[in-house]
Chain A
Amino acid sequence: MMRRLAEGGAIDRSQERTVVVNGVSYQGYAGDTVASALLANGLIAVGASSVFGRVRGVVSAGGEEPNALVQVTAPWSEPLVAATLLELPEQALEVSLLPGLRGRLAGDDEQRHDHHHAHCDLLVIGAGRSGHAAAAAAVAEGRRVILAERDFRPIELAGDEAIALPRTTALGSYDDNFVTLVERVSPVRRRLWHVRAGEVVLATGAYERPLVFPGNDLPGVMLAGALRTYLERFAVAAERPAVFCNNDRGLEVARLLGAAVIDLRAGRTVVGVEDAGEDGLSVLVAPLEAPADIERIECDVLGVSGGFDPVLDLHLHRGGRVRWHEGRACFVPDGALPRQRIVGAAAGEGLPAVQAHWLLPGDESQAFVDLHRDVTVAELRRAVGAGLQSIEHVKRYTLIATGADQGRTAKTNATAIAAQLLGSGVAEVGSSTTRPPVEPISFAALAGRARGERFDPVRTTPIHPWHVDRGAVFEDVGQWKRPRYYPRDGEQMDAAVLRECAAVRGGVGMMDASTLGKIDIQGPDAAEFLNRLYTNAYDTLKVGRCRYGLMCRADGMVFDDGVVSRVADDRFFATTTTGGAAVVLDWMEEWLQTEWPQLRVWLTSVTEQWATVAVVGPRSREVLAAVVPGVDLSAEAFPFMSFVDTAVAGADAHVSRISFSGELAYEVSVPGTRGLELWAALWSAGEPHGVTAYGTETMHVLRAEKGYPIVGQDTDGTVTPIDLGMDWIVSKTKPFVGSRSLRRPDTMRPDRKQLVGLLPDDPALRLDEGAQVVLDPNLRAPVPMAGHVTSSYDSAALGRTFALALVRGGRDRIGHSLYVSQSGVTARATVVEPVLVDPQGARRDG
């Protein structure tokens, strides 16, 4: 039994604290951990073990604790926290012991966890003697220093450029001296530091290692150094301690505590420990050479020390090397990484010589190597007997060192015992690597503030408030919110879309097209540049005219499309798809800079410089006329695929006559800040003509009725321009990126999947987008598939449903029937030309 001493320690007896364990209150002081408070109250058992359900006790006073992991239940909720690190907060802390060490999740974490980026010349991990000295020296030189220490004791480090962080654990070490730290800002709040350091000093110390002997898992068997810590720091001690060790450090503790000593170096070992109830432990001691020759030592606690393991996680995270140090019986760093130093005990400095006896006599099924995972020497022997020679296999066979305690007290013992069983050296069996994080960190702390509205941007156009005001239903297109349709009272989407489609083809509609990507292309070689990237030619495009263009990747597959306008001899304006805006600009820059640096061309993203409104339908000319009174909008003066620069509502405006619906249509662009005014002006001008706002869904229907594909919907990265039936736009006379790929055997196959229209026999049946095309309605798997439905709608203009599909040899099937399979049902449809509305293009000029 341990108890609190009347004086001494680094606790503040003037501040009482409370910890409630499984509903029972215990008193402690400021400066206590949950573990020290429990021990001070005479409690040593902390729960049942994971496999055998054996009672276990506190083993350590630090981050290596295998047993005393608790579930915090109030004032916050957190699974599996080491009681040896958990500081008693001002508020009463409620924890429950975890049978089987299985954590519980109790819902979202309402706490605030911050992230912080920091830069320094020197980052020191560990504020022990060596670490503090390194930090202080650098501070004296005027360097920017961060000193991080896991413990909660205050750190003295004065200097303008010095940051001392107690309660801060270094979690992981990454390339180029990027180190993550977690600071316990409050008992529950975390701040995750992202530190980029010029130099890193690892002063992380060493963990004491237990000895592996029968009965070593009984509550009361603790690390010798932990006994010292509990005495010196927390003023908690046992009346009758004993110490079992193989090194001088253990002996020192024994002297300090006045403990009975069992020294392996003197040829004495422990062959068993018995629970003597109120009387504590009865330790069965025998000579190594004569294990049956037992004497008993009665004690309250048995401190054990089997040597020390430098804490090298951060070194190992980056692939740092270690070597086995025979004299100290531990892995020590084999050099440091560039711009890093390892100092103090972490480097093996000052660690005592150890006389290692890994495999001690006695019942191996009672000798625990891993207390957390409940693995004994017997299991290790079984693993080795199964033919396993690598510690990694042994770990996986036994689960040694894979628990929430990271196996800190188990790893070296397991490796060395396995080596001894195999008759090989420790280093040959392998030093198990460690991976970040050094201590468990909650998902919420890692996510930080990137929750809710800060998870990912919601991008909206300048006209967005109008859409919201009119009750638009939005669609996510990448990060953009685009109006999908504008339902009127009680209207469902299908009805709204039919209404919007009819309104556009029958009168005039308006759509916010501001999200389209826009790129300004200037320079004397701009036309040549575009010639090389687009499948069609741009040197022949006249100033004031526009041209539809497709781009392929080098593999010949379509990857974006848009309209290119020639603004001047040396200036073009290109649009991209909404999702393609950034990608296409990057793509252009890549070719320009890396392949064609000799071309004098300069590219600028102007996506958000311009807000764009599409005015579409037979009455669009009248609407536009009202806002650009001075411009001759006649078909002759302002032909299809041309543009004029003018002013609308007092703003510079770029008006193009382009159409994605087959109707007479204009796209009007003004500087983004004037976008909402533009929309309002056009809306007022449109109201006498019954203008209707429409969204992406209607836009999709209208374009599909004309057979215009949408990149990413009617293509999937396996579709060439030829497959889309766009031979007319593929230059035969100039090379372009991807042109060579169109001459490969597979891309020239006549039976490639080609874009065609489909008319279901049942004109009311709207096929599923994603339905599969089959040639034989007799479905028995595996059924050969001939393609799939890419777009499918109910058409107001056609008075029936229709679809676009990619169909194997589709062009040759026009006029023939095939079948479409969706959700196990098969429907017949006729293959048709993809242009279903106004194939002659008569509506284009209004």
Chain B
Amino acid sequence: MTSVFEQHPDFLWHAPEPRSSYDVVIVGGGGHGLFTAYYLAKLHGISNVAVLERGWLGGGNAVRNTTVIRSNYLWDESAAMYEHSLRLWEGLTEELDYDILFSQRGVLNLAHNLGDVREGVRRVNANRLNGVDAEWLDLDDVAEFCPQVNISPELRYPVLGATLQRRGGIARHDALVFAVARAASALGVHLIQNCEVTGIELDGGRAVAVQTSRGRIGAGRIGLCAAGHSSVVAAMAGVELPIQSHPLQALVSEVLEQVLDCVVMSNAVHVYVSQAHKGELVMGAGIDPYNSYAQRGGFHVIEQQMAAALELFPIFATAHVLRTWAGIVDVSPDASPIVGATPVDGLFVNCGWGTGGFKATPGSGWVYAHTLATGQPHELNRPFSLERFETGALIDEHGAAAVAH
């Protein structure tokens, strides 16, 4: 067995002192912020860029998520955005010259009632027309693809079928943060850690600088990428966002011999699980209902998650939960992100990814870099504007959640 740390290179990034101003200041050094900076430098020739991070790079949701990567979203706008992101994922290891352990092992989404089946079939058909790989699996196919799933008809909510996106999978979140930070740093981007933004300076209705724990930093344009704290940071410029912040919990088991080789999600039974490269089971739980920035949630959510997991995977019964944790997810009214301009000139926002942020990081950074470089949205993020909440042109990814007859 080789040492697991050998994957990481000898050098990652510089720790420069902040300049007095930058062409673009990005607030938030998570996956979205780092990719935005990277693509600004790489694709738009703008490397006079600072990424300001309150704590340590990736210390928010980037390293707290369960790393499920997929693009099988229902609506055209979402599918286009996430598919663009997935295509970028497929080239990242090479592009960043870093093994981010992106593993396209397939993402199963189980259906447990007739409503789920309709929704799944609908999504598969829409995905295929959008050029997103998608398959509908009947029960036998599910059993063949993932023999570990309990398909007994005796289950409280028996599995009736599943959608499968074979190109979906998982990656190593730490490695992704290291990889893109290294690449951005190498292109001259300043990664400034322990630098908390405490204010946004406006001049004649235009955002011109940020106040930080390390002094004032001028900015040609400011891009907010502070998932979990989007509302707090935007409020510094007087900008209100239709965002609510909630805890989202996840957990991990000890390292186990291989027991699961795909990603399994079940909305009806509330499970999503994969087995990471080192061998630990990684599972996501439900969102806690109340607003919170505390990065912790309720224990009962974990217990319910375990009961649900054992319904589907009795074989996990003796595995141990090693660690639970929570991130802060920004939830928007239509469960879709907001990427684009704000009412304040020079200030842009990228938030509201809810539970879907990690998989979107390259795509999100790509379109946001375009937006920050040109002042205009890219075609892919144009629909994800703040204005949609006024016009009503939502991109409602909640789906047909209601069970009704």
A-side interface residues toward B, CB under 8 Å? 50-53, 77-80, 100-109, 115, 172, 174-175, 178, 180, 194, 317-319, 374-375, 379, 382-383, 385-390, 392-393, 396-399, 403-404, 406, 435-437, 440-444, 446-448, 450-451, 455-456, 458, 475-478, 482, 515, 555-556, 559-560, 577-580, 583, 696, 699, 710-713, 715-718, 741, 744-747, 768-772, 774, 779, 781-785, 788, 790, 821-824
Residue with the greatest number of chain A CB neighbours at <10 A, chosen from B1, B115, B299: B299
Cα of A745 to Cα of B177 in the assembled complex, Å: 41
Question: Closest chain A residue to B283 by CB distance?
Answer: A443
Tell me if A770 and B118 are in contact (CB < 8 A): yes
Beta-carbon contacts under 8 Å, B146-172 to A: 156-157
- Residues of B at the A interface (CB closer than 8 Å) are 1-5, 8-15, 55-57, 59, 63, 76, 80, 112-115, 117-126, 128-131, 136, 156-157, 174, 177-178, 185, 193, 253-257, 259, 279, 294, 296, 298-299, 302-304, 306-311, 314-325, 333, 388, 390-394, 396, 398-405
Q: Which residues of A contact B320 (CB under 8 A)?
A: 78-80, 103, 404, 440-443
B392 touches A477 (CB 8 A): no
Is B310 touching A781 in the complex (CB atoms < 8 A)?
Answer: no
* Contact pick for B12, options A374, A388, A515, CB 8 Å: A388
| Partner among A105, A174, A771 whose Cβ is within 8 Å of the Cβ of B299 | A174
B26 to chain A, nearest CB (A): 19
B396, A718: Cβ atoms closer than 8 Å? yes
Which of A379, A455, A771, A772 is close to B156, meaning CB atoms less than 8 Å apart?
A455
Once A387-B13, A447-B303 are accepted as A-B contacts, the answer to whether A768 and B319 lie under 8 Å apart by CB is no
Q: Cβ of A102 and Cβ of B129 under 8 Å apart? A: no
CB contacts (< 8 Å) of A560 on chain B: these are: 402, 404
Least CB distance, B214 to chain A, in whole angstroms: 14
Tell me the complex Cα distance, A661–B112, Å.
28
Chain B: which residue is nearest A174 at the CB level? B299
Are A579 and B256 interface neighbours, CB within 8 A?
no
A712 touching B128 by the CB < 8 A rule? no
Offer 26 A-B interface pairs, CB within 8 angstroms, sorted by A: A51-B3, A79-B319, A105-B317, A374-B3, A385-B11, A397-B12, A404-B254, A443-B253, A455-B311, A475-B113, A475-B114, A555-B392, A560-B404, A577-B404, A579-B402, A696-B405, A710-B405, A712-B115, A744-B391, A745-B391, A769-B118, A770-B120, A770-B124, A774-B129, A782-B129, A790-B118
Whether B318 and A713, one on each chain, are in contact in the complex, defined by CB atoms closer than 8 angstroms, is no
Q: Do B5 and A397 have beta carbons less than 8 Å apart? A: yes
Chain B nearest CB: distance from A569 CB in Å? 30
Determine if A772 and B319 form an interchain contact, defined as CB atoms under 8 angstroms apart. Answer: no
Contact A387 B15 (CB under 8 A): yes
Distance in Å from the Cβ of A826 to the closest Cβ of chain B?
10
Q: Are A824 and B128 in contact (CB under 8 A)?
A: yes
> Chain A residues with Cβ under 8 A from B396's Cβ?
716-718
CB–CB B131/A781 < 8 A: yes
CB < 8 Å neighbour of B76 from A78, A451, A713, A782:
A782
For B185, the closest partner residue in chain A by CB is A387
Q: How far is the CA of A821 from the CA of B45 in the complex (A)?
A: 43
Docked pose: A104 CA to B39 CA in angstroms: 43
| A404 with B322: CB separation less than 8 A | yes
Q: In whole angstroms, what is the CA distance A173 to B174 when docked?
A: 27
Contacts of A442 in B (CB 8 A): 317-321
Contacts of A712 in B (CB 8 A): 115, 400, 402-405
Which of B122, B185, B256, B302 is the one whose CB lies under 8 Å from A104? Answer: B256
Identify A716's interface contact among B59, B322, B400, CB under 8 A.
B400
Q: A713 contacts B118, CB within 8 Å?
A: yes
Contact B405 A477, beta carbon cutoff 8 Å: yes
With A387-B14, A399-B4 as contacts: A577 and B405 at CB distance below 8 Å: yes
A50 to B388, CA, bound (A): 52
Beyond A580-B402, A712-B400, 8 extra complex contacts between A and B, CB < 8 Å: A455-B311, A477-B405, A717-B402, A718-B396, A772-B125, A781-B131, A782-B80, A821-B125
| 5 A-B pairs with the lowest CB-CB distances in the bound complex, closest first | A781-B131, A770-B121, A770-B122, A440-B320, A712-B404
Is there contact, CB below 8 Å, between B56 and A392? Answer: yes
Min CB distance, B259 to chain A, in Å? 5
Assess A448 versus B303: contact at CB under 8 Å? Given A779-B129, A782-B76. yes
User: With A and B bound together, what is the CA distance between A482 and B403 in angstroms?
Assistant: 13
Assuming the contacts A580-B404, A717-B396, asked whether A105 and B119 have C-beta atoms less than 8 A apart, the reply is: no
B5 near A379: Cβ-Cβ < 8 Å: yes
Q: Name the contact of B318 in the complex, choosing from A101, A105, A710, A768 (C-beta under 8 A).
A: A105
A104 proximity list for chain B (CB < 8 A) = 256-257
Shortest Cβ distance from B329 into chain A, in angstroms?
A: 17
Nearest Cβ on chain A to B23's Cβ, whole angstroms? 23
Bound Cα distance A387, B178 (Å): 11
- A785: which of B63, B76, B299, B398 is its contact (CB, 8 Å)? B76
